[in-house]
Amino acid sequence: MKKRHEGLENPTFRYLGKEEIENPLLVVEEFFDVTDLELFRQELRLLLTLSFTNSDYGKEKVYDRSRLMCVHQHITRFLEMAWLMLNNEFVELYIVEGDPLFQSRGMWRETSFIELRKRLSNDVMKSCRVLEDQEINNVKLVFDDIFQYQSLTEWQDELDLILFYSVRSTPMSEERDNGHLSFPMYELLEKLLECIHVVHEFKIKGDEGWNVLPFEAEIKNKDYSYFPAELIMSIYHRMMSMEN
């Protein structure tokens, strides 16, 4: 598998199975079969808020803790899928001018100006409220920003901590010094979520994306034994050992 960036680690995929590693678009298709993007956006915000804010916040919220684990699993799968797509030159995710999905009137990196009214008037892309036009036209720009911010392994570890603290009575902000990471991580993860929507519209509904990885592509360090129940227990034991 050709990589765009030399020296990137070849990570362990915690939630992706063999078929999903060979065709990451299965991750996108499964997500939209089981949940709604706007509902998931709210749940993602809740997960991070429960983890980073003070303990009084969670006491006033009514939520299902098992859903927090589902959110953690989905967002980790998205990151693993994005890493695969970013680091394979055979995966084309460019929306070219002339395509009905091509964006040119709303948001641009150079001006940081958001014409949200125009974006909301677009029936297909109205869910993309934080992506710039050129990021919709090439979601790999977002994938690159995500892994320039931190590696896939670091993302996985941070999300493990976020899940751990979201189900505790004591939030992360009271025990650790990484509270300043909460907003940039949420901003990037929300962009990632909107990228999943773009890929779904462009590749799944457009019926262009099956077998996006070549048959001979080789991906190492597969780990199919990393399931949610084992994940939760491994996080618990790791955190307990850190406290001792």
Contacts of 144 (CB under 8 A, 6+ apart): 4, 86
Residue 75 is predicted with a pLDDT of: 95
Residues 184 and 205 occupy one common structural domain: yes
Q: What is the pLDDT of residue 231?
A: 56
**Is the same domain home to 232 and 121?**
no
Q: What is the pLDDT of residue 118?
A: 67
Helices 228-243 and 65-86 cross at an angle (nearest 10°) of 100
124 and 61 belong to one structural domain: no
Looking at the fold, whether 169 and 181 belong to one and the same domain comes out as yes
Radius of gyration of the chain, Cα coordinates, nearest whole angstrom: 18
Distance CA 42, CA 239 (A): 27
Does residue 114 share a domain with residue 46?
no
- Measured in degrees and rounded to the nearest 5, phi and psi for residue 12 equal -90, 130
Q: Is 229 exposed, middle or buried (0-12, 13-18, 19+ CB in 10 A)?
A: exposed
User: Do 26 and 38 lie in a common domain?
Assistant: yes
Nearest to 161, CA basis, from 228, 72, 243: 72
Q: For the full predicted model, state whether its pTM sits above 0.85.
A: no
Residues 58 and 103 in one domain: no
The whole-number pLDDT of residue 227 equals 45
Residues of the chain with pLDDT under 50: 1-8, 209-227
The residues, ordered by sequence, that sit 6+ positions from 182 with a Cβ below 8 Å of its Cβ are 48, 51, 52
Residue-range definition of the domain harbouring residue 239 = 18-92+152-243
| Domain assignment of residue 11, yes or no | no
- According to the model, what pLDDT value does residue 57 have? 64
CA–CA distance from 244 to each of 170, 237, 238 (Å)? 17, 11, 10
pLDDT at 237: 62
For residue 120, being part of any structural domain is answered with yes
Residue 8 belongs to some domain of the structure? no
With H, G, I as helix, E, B as strand and everything else as coil, classify residue 52: helix
Q: Say yes or no: 129 and 85 in one domain.
A: no
How many separate domains does the chain show? 2
